[in-house]
Structure formats: C-alpha cells, structure tokens
C-alpha cells in the first residue's frame, strides 16, 4: 500500500480554505499513485482556533466530510479525514453511534475508494496542557481496527501517542499500521520523534505520524511528519513546511519482523 501523509498548512478558523486545500492535496496524492491519503488533526478549523470549534462543528454525515468522501470516490483513493470537529448531537440525529448525546468530538473518519465510511475514531486522550480541548471536547470510547486493501489499519490522534496501552489494544486486534493525525506544536519536537518511533518499535508495526504545519498566534505546529517501519526505522519524513510524505506499507514486512523478533509473544 502506498501511503501519502499530507502535512497541510492550516490556517486557524479558515474552514473553507483549509478544506479546499486538503482536497487539492488529496487529488494530487492520488494522481501520484497513493492508495491511502492521511490528513492531519483538525485540518478543517486548526487545532488552536478553539473559539471556532462550536460554530464549525458538523455531523460525521455532514457536508464537509461529504466533500472528502466525494473526492475519495472521484480520485479512486482511500482517505483518512483526520480529524474534524464533530457535533455529536447532529451525528446522533443522522443515526451514527456516538459516545455522548451532545457535545463535540475530535473525530477521524476513513473513507474507502468508493467514498464509503469505513472507520470512525474519536480521540481518546484530550489535551489539557495549555489547551482548551478538554473543556470543549468529549473523549471517544472505541478503538476500531479495520482491514483496508490487505493491511490491518488503526487510528489514534496526537496526544494518544503518549499512551502506549491504547496501541497494545490495537495490536491485540491485529493492527499492522497505525495512522496518527496530529497537531503537535513546538517546542516538544523530541517528544514527537521519540514517541512515534517508540510506538513502532514496541508494537512491531508501521506508525505514520502525520502532523500539520503553520502558526496560530504564539503557537506553531512543528511539522516533521514521519513514517516508521516495524523496526522503528524512518522510511520518510518532512521538515516544518507544508508537503506530502510518501512511503510503502507492506504487511508481509510486519509479519517477517514479528517472526524474526517475537517480542509480542513474550508479553506476560
């Protein structure tokens, strides 16, 4: 599977422009042979645009994600819209299972090549350190893992990288590649590098840590989108500017590494 990780330049609160830019990048990645395109965390509103969350929120079945589904089908590519601000009450009204009757969620949605919704992941660990996410969002409850074109795929979001037990839960469900859409800021660059690699090494799985790019007042995202293989080796990475990072994900490679170094079998 050819993976394209879009390190999008996100403008705080500029929802229409952000979504238009994301769609352009999805089309470009598909034209370059991508099988799966991954967008960063809150690519629609910008993570630090907290005051925009409520008025920008939509159902998982709303118009914004419908546009992403449409481009996935039109470009014949799988897309992780990771993430958007979800209005949980609106999703419930659309018949979509939600963790709470009301509130907002930080939600990633994976669409297949037909534009069909295959996975919905709501961020579990909400960030409270100098952030308003914990005040404005409802945490998710499920950790779905799906088969996508021969690869067992799971999703976490940004701060989830600091909680290895969540990755272990996915490993128990057979995960081979974990997608991590993020809005990781300066100055914690070394944490970003170390945690993504550590999750790959300890789970003997691919980890695609997909960050945004851009400044929001005094806060700035550090970019450095990186794809790690099951040994924790960097397959592809970026600097801080907007770009697209591509890498090949091979489930046979996961099986071979887990056979050669069977640490997962030694768990007690």
Q: Mind listing the pLDDT tens digit for each residue in 166-218?
A: 999 999 999 999 999 999 999 999 999 999 999 999 999 999 999 999 888 88
**How do beta strands 145-148 and 117-122 pair?**
unpaired
Q: How far is CA 2 from the centre of its chain?
A: 16
Could you tell me the residue range of the domain that residue 260 belongs to? 2-266
How far is the C-alpha of 2 from the C-alpha of 34, rounded, in Å? 5
Write out the two tokens for 33: 């042979």
pLDDT at 268: 87
Active site residues: 41, 123, 158
C-alpha torsion sign, points 253, 257, 262, 263? negative
Residue 5 bridge partners (DSSP): 38, 245
Residue 77 maps to which CATH number? Answer: 3.60.110.10
- In the chain, the largest separation of any two C-alpha atoms, in whole Å, equals 51
Q: Decide: pTM greater than 0.85.
A: yes
Write out the two tokens for 36: 């799966």
Count of domains in the chain? 1
Find out whether 216 and 49 touch, Cβ atoms under 8 Å. Answer: yes
- Across the range 87-95, mean pLDDT stands at 96
Q: Residue 251 to residues 2, 77, 123, 150, 256: CA-CA distances in angstroms?
A: 12, 19, 25, 7, 9
Q: How far is CA 193 from the centre of its chain?
A: 16
């Amino acid at each position: 599977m050819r993976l394209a990780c879009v390190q999008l330049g996100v403008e705080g609160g500029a929802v229409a422009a952000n979504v238009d830019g994301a769609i352009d990048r999805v089309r470009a990645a598909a034209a370059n042979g991508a099988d799966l395109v991954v967008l960063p965390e809150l690519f629609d509103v910008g993570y630090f645009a907290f005051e925009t969350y409520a008025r920008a929120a939509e159902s998982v079945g709303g118009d914004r994600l419908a546009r992403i589904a449409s481009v996935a089908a039109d470009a014949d590519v799988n897309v992780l819209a990771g993430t958007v601000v979800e209005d949980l009450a609106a999703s419930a009204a659309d018949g979509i299972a939600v963790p709470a009757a009301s509130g907002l969620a930080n939600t990633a949605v994976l669409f297949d090549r037909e534009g069909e919704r295959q996975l919905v992941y709501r961020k579990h660990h909400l960030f409270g350190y100098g952030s308003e996410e914990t005040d404005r969002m409802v945490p998710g409850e499920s950790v779905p893992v799906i088969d996508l074109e021969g690869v067992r795929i799971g999703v976490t979001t940004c701060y989830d990288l600091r909680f290895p037990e969540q990755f272990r839960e996915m490993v128990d469900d057979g995960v081979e590649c974990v997608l991590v859409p993020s809005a990781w800021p300066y100055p914690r660059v070394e944490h970003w590098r170390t945690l993504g690699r550590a999750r790959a090494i300890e789970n003997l799985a691919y980890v695609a840590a997909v960050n945004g790019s851009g400044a929001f007042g005094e806060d700035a995202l550090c970019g450095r989108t990186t794809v790690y293989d099951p040994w924790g080796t960097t397959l592809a990475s970026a600097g801080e500017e907007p770009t697209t990072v591509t890498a090949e994900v091979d489930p046979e490679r996961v099986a071979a590494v887990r056979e050669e170094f069977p640490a997962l079998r030694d768990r007690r």
